[in-house]
């Protein structure tokens, strides 16, 4: 099938590469010339394990190409996936300007029936807005061409995006039940035929329910994290090990083990903005989502939990102190810094006068870019942060190690080496990477999340 992907970011590039991998003829469009130039010169603009191989293989096979040519992109695909960003607007609602712009382009240039697929995470009712934008463009051209808008939200995780896309837990596709909607359903079935025949279930539903399903999934995952973080904070006060509790409850099949790790808050491009957007949707319908408001508030507080532990130990003035910071990305295996907890911590530490030597396996460049924006009001503070070339160098001469992202290499680090390289043997661990008893037995001070009783 001929498929166009509009927006070649984390989701669009993975979707395009993986749909080419199963044999489709894919055209990826982006307005960002830099991204397209990198891709056309054989590079990958993001860090995503395994993606480079899939892209290279399919470009070589002639099934995958990249361009900024809007007209050619509309002409190419019988199916047009919209995978552009939907960042939070100032009021927390999803900013749909990129989605609507993509829809307008389709309406402007289409010359045959198109199935338009909302792949971006978009609020309930967005398919109607996409339809209206296309219809308006068609009307201004006095064209009576048919099209159908479907919703096919994406559930991949950054860091495991290729594997998630190729072996999805489920596919959700929303379509209308009218003639064009049913025609679109048939075409979408062909798009995902190889997935369905490999046993990956497709849940067919109406468009609005599909749009809502994506928000419900992210809201549920965010809720589990904030729930555990709140309990972890209480666990520290009442003398309970939250990790033992996690295991104790996660073994109950009604609860399940996933997304129960306490830590220094969730970040990324999805959970924070999707929780906010769902809250905003509820307000538009004059209904209050009390649980999700709390989830968001708990998470914002949790991003300060490491800072609070550091201030509790050293006082509010951190001048003269140097912290080794392990992990900048919002989670491992990605260079994505959107809403990363590290950004909140860095603000707190630098503004309190501390020095930081940070290390992240892949996110350093992106971190430097976002920190320049975060500190636009006080760029001089950025003289207090440096970036090490490896994890051990960051430790050298530091008063304490602070762990923000659970990269595997940090988990397997030798505690003896950490101890001997730091100036003082102190670890603030925002991801509970180590067994507190082991750290303690080595004569180190350890501040994990919700495990104070053991440390
Ligand atoms: P991204 O910012 O990485 O990529 C979006 C891309 O769209 C950018 O490269 C941008 O230049 C391009 N773009 C914007 N307007 C365009 C236009 N009119 N025509 C062509 N290209 C255009 O964003 P992302 O992380 O890939 O997220 C995309 C959507 O998918 C969002 O709605 C997000 O919530 C959702 N989503 C993201 C993830 C994730 O893990 N990143 C997972 C599931 C769903």
* Ligand 1 pocket, residue 447 CB under 6 Å: no
**CATH 1.25.10.10 applies to domain 2-205:** no
| Average of per-residue pLDDT across 272-296 | 96
Q: Quick one: DSSP state of residue 178?
A: S
Is residue 269's pLDDT more than 90? no
Using a pLDDT cut of 90, give the percent of the chain over it. Answer: 99
Is residue 83's pLDDT more than 90? yes
The answer to whether the beta carbons of residues 94 and 273 sit under 8 Å apart is yes
Q: What is the pLDDT of residues 373-419, one digit of tens each?
A: 999 999 999 999 999 999 999 999 999 999 999 999 999 999 999 99
Is residue 64's pLDDT more than 90? yes
User: Which pLDDT score is estimated for 375?
Assistant: 98
- Centre of ligand 1 from the C-alpha of residue 82, in Å: 9
| Average of per-residue pLDDT across 35-61 | 97
Q: What is the pLDDT of residues 294-331, one digit of tens each?
A: 999 999 999 999 999 999 999 999 999 999 999 999 99
Strand, coil or helix: what is 5?
A: strand
- Centre of ligand 1 from the C-alpha of residue 8, in Å: 7
Is residue 369's pLDDT more than 90? yes
| Average of per-residue pLDDT across 45-52 | 95
Active site positions, annotated: 270
Is residue 357's pLDDT more than 90? yes
Q: Tell me, what's the ipTM?
A: 0.99
* Ligand 1 pocket, residue 80 CB under 6 Å: no
* Ligand 1 pocket, residue 156 CB under 6 Å: yes
- Centre of ligand 1 from the C-alpha of residue 31, in Å: 11
Is residue 77's pLDDT more than 90? yes
Strand, coil or helix: what is 342?
A: helix
Pocket test for ligand 1, best of 18, 30, 37, 39 (most atoms within 8 A of CB): 30
Predicted structure pTM score: 0.94
* Ligand 1 pocket, residue 262 CB under 6 Å: no
Strand, coil or helix: what is 363?
A: coil
CA dist 331 and 316 (Å) reads 28
Mean residue pLDDT across the chain: 97
User: Which pLDDT score is estimated for 227?
Assistant: 98
Q: What is the pLDDT of residues 428-444, one digit of tens each?
A: 999 999 999 999 999 99
Residue identified by tokens 């003829």 is: 25
| 111 CA to centre of own chain | 35
* Ligand 1 pocket, residue 429 CB under 6 Å: no
Parts of the chain belonging to CATH 3.40.50.720: 2-205, 250-454
Q: What is the pLDDT of residues 87-142, one digit of tens each?
A: 999 898 999 999 999 999 999 999 999 999 999 999 999 999 999 999 999 999 99
Q: Which atom of ligand 1 is nearest to the CA of 32?
A: 11
Burial profile 316-344: b = 16 or more Cβ within 10 angstroms, e = fewer: eebeebbbbbbbbbbbbbbbbbbbbbbbb
Q: Which CATH class is domain 250-454?
A: alpha beta
- Centre of ligand 1 from the C-alpha of residue 103, in Å: 14
Cβ atoms within 10 Å of 357's Cβ, excluding its own? 18
Pocket test for ligand 1, best of 9, 98, 329 (most atoms within 8 A of CB): 9
Is residue 257's pLDDT more than 90? yes
| Average of per-residue pLDDT across 162-176 | 98
The strands making up 64-67's β-sheet, listed across from edge to edge, are 64-67, 25-29, 2-6, 79-82, 114-118, 147-151, 171-174, 202-205
- Centre of ligand 1 from the C-alpha of residue 269, in Å: 10
């Amino acid at each position: 099938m001929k498929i166009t992907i509009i927006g070649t970011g984390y989701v669009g590039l993975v979707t395009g590469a993986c749909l080419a991998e199963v044999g489709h003829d894919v055209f990826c469009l982006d307005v960002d010339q830099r991204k397209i130039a990198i891709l056309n010169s054989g590079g990958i603009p993001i860090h995503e394990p395994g993606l480079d191989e899939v892209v290279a293989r399919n470009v070589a096979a002639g099934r995958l190409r990249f361009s900024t040519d809007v007209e050619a992109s509309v002409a190419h695909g019988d199916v047009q996936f919209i995978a552009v960003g939907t960042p939070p607007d100032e009021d927390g609602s999803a900013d749909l300007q990129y989605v609507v712009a993509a829809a307008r382009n389709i309406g402007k240039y289409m010359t045959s029936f198109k199935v338009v697929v909302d792949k971006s995470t978009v609020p309930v009712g967005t398919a109607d807005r996409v339809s209206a934008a296309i219809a308006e463009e068609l009307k201004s051209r006095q064209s009576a061409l048919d099209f159908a808008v479907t919703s096919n939200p994406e559930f991949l995780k950054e860091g495991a995006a290729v594997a998630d896309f190729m072996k999805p837990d489920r596919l959700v596709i929303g379509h209308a039940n009218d003639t064009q909607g049913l025609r679109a359903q048939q075409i979408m079935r062909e798009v995902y035929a190889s997935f369905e025949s490999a046993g990956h279930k497709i849940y067919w539903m109406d468009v609005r329910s599909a749009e809502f399903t994506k928000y419900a999934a992210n809201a549920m995952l965010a809720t589990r994290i904030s729930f555990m973080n709140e309990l972890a904070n209480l666990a520290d006060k009442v003398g309970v090990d939250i990790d033992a509790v996690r295991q104790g409850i996660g073994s109950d099949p009604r609860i399940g083990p996933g997304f129960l790790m306490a830590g220094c808050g969730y970040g990324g491009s999805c959970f924070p903005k999707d929780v906010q957007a769902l809250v905003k949707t509820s307000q538009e319908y004059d209904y209050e989502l009390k649980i999700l408001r709390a989830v968001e508030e708990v998470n914002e507080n949790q991003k300060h939990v490491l800072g609070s532990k550091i201030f509790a130990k050293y006082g509010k003035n951190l001048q003269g102190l140097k912290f080794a910071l392990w992990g900048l990305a919002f989670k491992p295996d990605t260079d994505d810094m959107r809403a990363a907890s590290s950004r909140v911590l860095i603000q707190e530490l630098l503004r309190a006068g501390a020095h930081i030597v940070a290390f992240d396996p892949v996110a350093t460049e992106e971190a430097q870019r976002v920190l320049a924006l975060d500190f636009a009001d006080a760029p001089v503070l950025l003289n207090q942060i440096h970036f090490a070339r490896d994890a051990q160098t960051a430790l050298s001469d530091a008063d304490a190690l602070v762990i923000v992202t659970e990269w595997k290499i940090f988990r397997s680090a030798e505690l003896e080496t950490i101890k001997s390289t730091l100036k003082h043997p102190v670890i603030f661990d925002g991801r509970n990477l180590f067994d507190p008893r082991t750290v303690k037995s080595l004569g180190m001070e350890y501040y994990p999340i919700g495990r104070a009783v053991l440390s």
